[in-house]
Amino acid sequence: MSPADVTNQIYARLDELGGQVRHLQQSFDTVNQRFSESLSNLNVLANHAKESAIRAGAAALSAANACERAAKAAKLAASKEIFELVREAADAAGLAAEAAAEAAASASAAASATATAAAILLNPDSVRASADAAQAAKGAADSALAAVKIAQEVNSFLARP
């Protein structure tokens, strides 16, 4: 084999390797773009889950407030011997407590989704969103507990002779 043939083979192989490098670069660019889009979507998901947890916490607080007012109405009505109204108010308190518990469960699920996104993303905004969602879930659980206690108080009040 002549030196010119060897040189031509080397150039041909270099051209082939150059094509492979260009193909690898294009593949990397595609994967990098998709990865960036996925991270962006996960960040959006984390923020939506945070918002969901906060709203569920607010719903649980509202349900607990409704439960408290229903309990107050039941006690006032009982003092005037309007038993049917009392029973309805007690039922409303129980349903409000149930709604608060459902809202707490929703907040917990949203907090879990946010924590998952934060674990995947590992960026400060997602971790902060996860902490906010967890705080909202705790608030929802506290509200649900308060609502349940109020509903139990109403039922024990009604059970008195």
N-to-C CA span, the chain: 113
Q: Taking residues 132-145, what's their average pLDDT?
A: 76
Number of domains in the chain: 1
What is the pLDDT, as a whole number, of residue 26?
92
Would 61 be classed as within a structural domain? yes
10 pLDDT higher than 80? yes
Position 35 in a domain: no
Crossing angle of helices 124-159 and 3-79, in 10° steps, is 20
Q: Residue 142 — φ and ψ, nearest 5°?
A: -60, -45
Find the mean pLDDT for residues 27-53.
79
Do the domain assignments include residue 8?
A: no
**Single-letter amino acid code for the residue at 61:** L
Average pLDDT estimate for 90-113: 75
Using DSSP, state whether 160 is helix, strand or coil: coil
- Distance in angstroms (rounded) separating the CA atoms of residues 148 and 90: 12
Please indicate, yes or no, if residue 12 is contained in any of the structural domains.
no
88-123 burial, b at 16+ Cβ within 10 Å, e below that, comes to: ebbebbbbbbbbbbbbbbbbbbbbbbbbbbbeebee
Give the pair of three-digit tokens for residue 12: 């041909």
With respect to residue 3, please indicate whether it lies within any of the assigned structural domains: no
Residue 56 located in a structural domain: yes
In a domain, 37, yes or no: no
* Residue 81 pLDDT greater than 70, yes or no: no
pLDDT band at 92 (very low <50, low <70, confident <90, very high): confident
CA atoms within 13 A on the CB side of 108: 11
The answer to the question of residue 50 being in a domain is yes
Contact 59, 105 (CB under 8 A): no
Range of the domain at 52: 45-159
